[in-house]
Amino acid sequence: MRISELSRTSGVPIATIKYYLREGLLQAGQATGATRSEYGEPHLRRLRLIRALVDVGGLPLAKVREVLACVDDPPASLHCALGTAHDALGAAPPDARGADLAEAVVAGAGWRVDRASPAFAQLGAALAALVDAGFPAGPAALERYVRAAVDLATAEVADVPRTDTAAAVQFVVLGTILYEPVLLALRRLAQQHASATTLG
């Protein structure tokens, strides 16, 4: 298809597609003339992936680039691929008060995690915000969230395909990012349902 049709089908403006092409996020089409290229299904899939990471995942373009680089050129270790996904999801600046709160929860859960990782700083910032708003943020108060996180993460990691490295990296990196908005939207709808039933 021509770029105009790629734009129509994907819903992404031509100027944006050209920008992604210039930036190397989207692979070039097959040249069919001096100013004309032909695009196919892989371009459409790639374009949808970029938009999903931006619109649904909320990633800035620089992080989209890192995520795509990891998917295109898979690292040897899946644990590294997970690190790339987590790094892309952003982090709060480290904060001593948050670190103490996060440490208590992580130690209580018995988790083996990197205290220098963005996710650890993110947990600290989120817990400090809870405390500031008058909510409890200790291991006991968070027990149900820890349990939900363990249940989901254990099943997710068990689901990683073990035979094909490229597929596994794609699964880990994109799954980590794209299931976050799903989980949040489901929690909000489940709250609506529980609220309509008991508080309505």
Residues 59-98 that bind a second copy (CB under 8 A): 77-79, 82, 86, 89, 92
150 binds a second copy (CB under 8 A): yes
Give the whole-angstrom CA distance, residue 193 versus residue 180: 20
Give the whole-angstrom CA distance, residue 150 versus residue 78: 19
14 binds a second copy (CB under 8 A): no
Residue number, 34 or 76, with CB nearest to a second copy:
76
- Gyration radius (Cα) of the chain, Å: 21
Of 5, 23, 114, 164, the one binding a second copy (CB under 8 A) is 114
Region of 27 (left: φ > 0; alpha: ψ -120 to 50; beta: rest) is beta
Of 52, 94, 103, 165, the one binding a second copy (CB under 8 A) is 52
126 binds a second copy (CB under 8 A): yes
Of 2, 9, 156, 161, the one binding a second copy (CB under 8 A) is 156
Of 26, 57, 59, 63, the one binding a second copy (CB under 8 A) is 57
Give the whole-angstrom CA distance, residue 11 versus residue 25: 17
Of 28, 31, 107, 185, the one binding a second copy (CB under 8 A) is 185
Q: Residue 80, Cβ neighbours under 10 Å: how many?
A: 13
Assigned token pair, 130: 């809870």
Helix (H) or strand (E) holding 31: strand 30-31
CB of 32 to a second copy, least distance (A): 26
